[in-house]
Amino acid sequence: MASACLVGVNCRYNGSSKISAPLLEKFLGGEVIPFCPELLAGLGVPRTAMQMEGGQGFAVLDGTATVKTVTGEDRTAEMVRGASMAADMAGAVKPETIYLKTGSPSCGWGMHKGKEVVGVTAALLARAGHTIKAVE
Ligand code: SF4
């Protein structure tokens, strides 16, 4: 499985993608299944950019942090729902590795622009024991 924006799906908040050439090759070879937790949650494209407040993805799952749009609307419920749907998908697919886009409040995993970002979906997938690789 891989964040859909990494294989060319224009599902980022601003309607763009962030293609990773090696992952696109895997996708075209039938080796990865793309998914976008924010689309699964029904947030649509384009959408207002979001950020975590009060903690990272693990804290959002634990109810001690939130996700809000940059204009202040609470999207915590949608982000947790999208994470849950992605986790259900991973539970069915049982991928060897899940490739996630860095820096995202959903898919973020590891360092991005000098700080660690762990998104809500990434946190749930990690808690479920999946192997995650971060892709810029
Ligand atoms: S939620 Fe994940 S798959 Fe969707 S656009 Fe953001 S980083 Fe890409």
Residue found by looking up tokens 């973020």 in the block: 108
**Tens of pLDDT, residues 89-111:** 999 999 999 999 999 999 999 99
DSSP per position, 31-93: ---EE-HHHHTT--SS---EEEESS-HHHHHTTS-EEEETTS-B-HHHHHHHHHHHHHHHHHH
- Ligand 1 neighbourhood includes 3 CB (under 6 angstroms): yes
**Tens of pLDDT, residues 17-71:** 999 999 999 999 999 999 999 999 999 999 999 999 999 999 999 999 999 999 9
- Ligand 1 neighbourhood includes 4 CB (under 6 angstroms): yes
Residue 92 Cα to ligand 1 midpoint, Å, equals 20
Give the start-to-end residue ranges of the domains of the chain: 2-135
- For 61, list phi and psi in degrees, rounded to 5: -60, -35
Residue 86 Cα to ligand 1 midpoint, Å, equals 11
Residue 15 Cα to ligand 1 midpoint, Å, equals 11
- Ligand 1 neighbourhood includes 36 CB (under 6 angstroms): yes
Residue found by looking up tokens 């763009």 in the block: 16
The pTM (predicted TM-score) of the whole model is 0.98
- Ligand 1 neighbourhood includes 5 CB (under 6 angstroms): yes
* pLDDT, mean of residues 4-21: 98
Residue 110 Cα to ligand 1 midpoint, Å, equals 15
